[in-house]
Amino acid sequence: MKPLPSTATPKKILMQIQPTDEGWTYAVELAQSLAPHGTEVALVTTGCNPSRVQRRDIKSLSHLTLHSVATGDASQEMNRLREVEEWFAPDAIHLNNFTLPTARFESPTLLVLHGEHRLDGKPEADAVVFTSHAAMREGEQNLGATPARVIFNGLDPARFKPSQKEKLIFTPVVPGTDHVEGKVLEEVAPKISWPVCVTSASRRIARLAQKVPGLRWLGRLGSDALPAWCGRASIFLQAGYNEPFGLTAVAAGLAGCALVLSDSPSLRELWAGAAVFVAPGDARSLRVALRRLMENPARLKELAVFAQCRAIQLNSQQMATQYLGAYAEAMNRRAVKAIP
């Protein structure tokens, strides 16, 4: 008979991520928070290669190794992932992309589903993590017997501090939503008195900022620039509905911004009572909400305090501890399956 599963802390994690701005922030933040537990991370990027700025961000992290397997072909990326798995010999694999065929991995597999979406079929993973209870309600009907839990994404509060606040609005535009969000910002920015500063890799947004008064394009910010802009901004705006990681809002809350967020079940779960919510795509309501805050300094400050108190609860140390438990659960479930 094989031995019963171990409850030892996993020491080697292979983590897959697509290096979008927030996806990268999430992966690096988690890897840094796992380091004090003695856990080494092999970070594997798929879909596209990390940028030069992103590579610079992790250059000094001795507990993290970077491997890019991006080819544009899912089957090739899968094969290269398996090669990294064979070389690294992880205790568990952490996937952040449901489209990868998880059943082919030899190591215990944890699937993390960011954002709200329905699963097309049962995932072949040993355990599943959702990043909100609202998201789990959407996806849990297809899990079968696969254990699932909720772990909120978080950041290190020490990295994000308020500085001298300025009369400006800071907003991210994520890939895939620049057309819709661009239209909203095009309607709103010229009709309010504060500049709207946009961080985005989108060339569409860059072109829009050249012709729309009040709209300023910041480009793609590195990890060192994000805390600075969050610290300066008085209002953080998240106009798009599709924001799977939600970490820029956490950063803004920690840095003392008042939050104006797109109305979604997950965001309400996290920020109810600590943010203003506006229906996605409703430019008129957004303009009214922003003006009310801009014209009421007391309410602006009150909302910023509420957001900061809530954001402190979403910290990366707690996130790392919970992920260690999720990795151990995946390892134990795989071990139980192997017992005859």
Name the helix (H) or strand (E) containing 175: none
Mind listing the pLDDT tens digit for each residue in 27-65? 999 999 999 999 999 999 998 899 888 898 898 899 999
Cβ-contact 13, 90 below 8 angstroms: yes
Q: What is the CATH number assigned to the segment(s) 157-312?
A: 3.40.50.2000
Cite the residue boundaries of each domain of the chain with CATH code 3.40.50.2000: 12-154+315-334, 157-312
Q: Which pTM value belongs to this model?
A: 0.91
Please enumerate in sequence order all residues whose Cβ is within 8 A of that of 141, keeping only pairs 6 or more positions apart, or say none: none
Please enumerate in sequence order all residues whose Cβ is within 8 A of that of 246, keeping only pairs 6 or more positions apart, or say none: 22, 131, 153, 266, 267, 270
Mind listing the pLDDT tens digit for each residue in 203-244? 888 899 999 999 999 988 877 788 999 999 999 999 876 667
Cβ-contact 257, 233 below 8 angstroms: yes
Class of domain 12-154+315-334: alpha beta
DSSP state of 155: B
Mind listing the pLDDT tens digit for each residue in 265-317? 999 999 999 999 999 889 999 999 999 999 999 999 999 999 999 999 999 99
Joined tokens for residue 18: 């697509």
Please enumerate in sequence order all residues whose Cβ is within 8 A of that of 297, keeping only pairs 6 or more positions apart, or say none: none
